[in-house]
Amino acid sequence: MGRCEWKRVFDQVKPTPEQEQAMLDRLLQEQKEVKPVSRMKKMTAVLLAAALLLMACAFTVAAGVDQRLLALFRGDEQDAQQITEGVVSVEESYTYDNGWTVEIEQVLVDRYSLAVLVDMIGPKGVVLNGEDCFVDFASEIIPEDGEGVGSYVSGSTVLEDENPEDNRISFLWQRGPSTFLKSGTQSLIGCEITLRPTWLTQGGSRGIIADFREDKRTFTVKLPEQDSGWTYQLGLPLLVDEETMTLESLYISPISAACFVNGTPHDSRMWGPPGLSGVYESLVLNMENGDSVAMSQSVSQTYNPESGEGRLVFQTEQIIEPENVVSVTVLGQTFSLDGLAPAD
Amino acid sequence: MGMVHTGEEVAALYRKHVGMVYQICLMLMKNVPDAEDATQTVFRKVMEYDKPFRDPEHEKAWLIVTARNECKNQLRHWWRKNRASEETLQNLTWEQPEDGELWEYILSLPEKYRMVLYLHYYQGYTALETAEILGKNPSTVRTWLVQARWKLKEILEVEEYGQM
């Protein structure tokens, strides 16, 4: 393969003029829109913990909570009690014309995060070992309670496969809350979510294993009315890159923590570096018994450039009791919750 | 050269380099929607970059490195931005069918080989310049170029043999 072949091939993978213009338009428009950011770290450790627990516990259900969900938070039966009211057992399945079956097992939800436990079963003869696999859903929250441009982030994690030689694989599909340019972040409490499987891929969206888009079958799940999380109104200064932002409020649930901050319009600290990109690794919930609980992953990080509001949602590395959190450390600054009453 | 901040300045820089940035992103991300996302992010980072580029070559090298880093960063994450459209599988069109096959072979190479081959054979950088851009020893880059050519030759031969 010589230079001329290289040139010929690469000349054909330039963006088309329409594509070029569309990307530029989106780029210039971005400053006016809510921009979702997603970050994932420490997942290996979490999945390893999940795998170990799965091997020990198989797929038993404790307090109505699937063990695979509990395992992600390194939880035991006692912890399961903490998240019971956020769990919806769905247990619905559907077999597509292409021979694939999708089973929605359970949904775990709090105010700003949602996780769907789903099994994918291939036609006979298909071997699914889960390597580099992703499942994706189109999803809609009803009622949609927002104004202006809205967005959310979603993604999937393949769970430990007990039998890599079979045609079954389990995923946790997660999504953050919808955030809107004009009306903030929508709560998931009491809403209904419709899920429509779109595809199962391996190694990126070019490697489609199963395509479900032709069939419009949806799974509808009514989300719980109860919110197991607590919101604290703070309105305290938070030093970010040596300048002040305001830590407006904190939301702490058994499985997540969310920070709502206010900077200035078009505040570059929202993106860093380091700016708020350091929050994920620095955020720690300090418990009454002296323990510290860190975050295992970022669920959603959005920023409204016009108002300067930032909303950051993280999943905790273990299940906690919100009432036992005495203070929160963000970017090295500790905010006491002592004496503060939860807002709701 | 000054800092890039205004929409006009970004647009000018974008027009000049979008082809290259997109090619790198497509080569690394292996699909059009992710390549588009990564390309946009690279140019957004230019907008946020608050230091002046020394010269046009510095500007170009900065974009190459940023595109590569952005793609590697995205590939590390399982977490994907939700898309408004499901039509993420846009097919590339080829003048000759064998060009599509060549593209697939290129994509099957390890990332380090793809980058050095692209920079050397398509962008025309010498091994020394490629090494500087990628922050590697020139000898490493020369080795990668040799290995990449062999690897590609091997793939092409296996393919030809398979068709016999």
Tens of pLDDT, residue by residue over A307-331, are 888 889 999 999 999 999 999 999 9
Measured CA to CA, the distance from residue B17 to residue A77 in angstroms comes to 56
Using a CB–CB cutoff of 8 Å, tell me whether B108 touches chain A.
no
SS3 B17: helix
Paired with B83 in beta bridges are none
Question: Which is nearest to A136 in space by CA: B76, B79, B41?
Answer: B79
Give residue A195's pLDDT: 95
Q: What is the CA radius of gyration of chain A?
A: 21
Paired with A179 in beta bridges are A151, A185
Nearest-Cα residue of chain B relative to residue A272: B48
Beta carbons of A36 and B44 less than 8 Å apart: no
User: What is the average pLDDT across B154-162?
Assistant: 66
Question: Which is nearest to B20 in space by CA: B76, B62, B82, B79?
Answer: B62
Measured CA to CA, the distance from residue A67 to residue A87 in angstroms comes to 12
Q: Domain residues of chain A, as ranges?
A: 3-64, 82-222, 230-336
CB–CB of A321/A252 below 8 Å?
no
Residue B158 banded pLDDT, cuts 50, 70, 90: low
List the single best residue of B8, B18, B36, B82 to mutate versus A (max A Cβ within 10 A). B82
B155 vs B118, higher pLDDT? B118
CA atoms within 13 A on the CB side of B32: 17
SS3 A130: coil
List chain A residues with CB under 8 Å of B79. 38-40, 153-155, 297-298
> Which residues of chain A fall below pLDDT 50?
31-63
Q: Supply the angle between the helices B56-76 and B7-29 in degrees, to the nearest 10.
A: 50
Asked if residue B16 has pLDDT above 60, the reply is: yes
**Which residue has 């398979």 as its token pair?**
B162
- The residue type found at B149 is R
Asked if residue B14 has pLDDT above 50, the reply is: yes
Give residue B83's pLDDT: 39
SS3 B70: helix
Measured CA to CA, the distance from residue A277 to residue A268 in angstroms comes to 11
Does A82-222 match A230-336 in CATH topology?
yes
Q: What is the pLDDT of residues B53-95, one digit of tens each?
A: 888 888 999 999 999 988 877 775 545 444 333 344 346 778 8
Q: How far is B43 from chain A (nearest CA, A)?
A: 8
- Select from A8, A10, A27 the Cβ nearest to the Cβ of B43: A27
Give residue B76's pLDDT: 56
CB burial class (10 A; 0-12, 13-18, 19+) of residue A322? buried
- Select from A8, A38, A206 the Cβ nearest to the Cβ of B79: A38
ipTM over 0.90: no
CA atoms within 13 A on the CB side of A150: 15
Chain centroid, CA A165 distance in Å? 29
Choices 2.30.30, 2.60.40, 1.10.20, 3.30.70: CATH for A230-336: 2.60.40
Region class of A73: left (phi > 0), else alpha (psi between -120 and 50), else beta: alpha
Q: What is the pLDDT of residues B92-144, one digit of tens each?
A: 778 887 888 888 888 888 888 899 999 998 999 999 999 989 888 888 899 88
Measured CA to CA, the distance from residue A156 to residue A46 in angstroms comes to 14
CB–CB of B34/A30 below 8 Å?
no
Measured CA to CA, the distance from residue A89 to residue A221 in angstroms comes to 9
Q: What is the CA radius of gyration of chain B?
A: 17
Q: How far is CA A37 from CA A115, A140, A149, A265, B38, in A?
A: 18, 19, 15, 17, 12
Nearest-Cα residue of chain B relative to residue A31: B44
Question: Which is nearest to A209 in space by CA: A103, A119, A134, A97?
Answer: A134
Residue A143: is the preceding peptide bond cis (ω within 30°)? Answer: yes
CB–CB of B42/B67 below 8 Å?
yes
User: What is the average pLDDT across B148-155?
Assistant: 82
Under 8 Å CB-to-CB from B79, ≥6 apart: which residues?
Answer: A38, A39, A40, A153, A154, A155, A297, A298
Joined together, the tokens standing for residue A279 give: 């929050």
List the single best residue of A10, A39, A300 to mutate versus B (max B Cβ within 10 A). A10
The helix or strand, by DSSP H or E, that contains position B61, with its residue range, turns out to be helix B56-76
Q: Under CATH, what is the fold of the domain A82-222?
A: Immunoglobulin-like (2.60.40)
Quickly count: other Cβ atoms within 10 Å of residue A50's Cβ.
23
Nearest-Cα residue of chain A relative to residue B41: A27
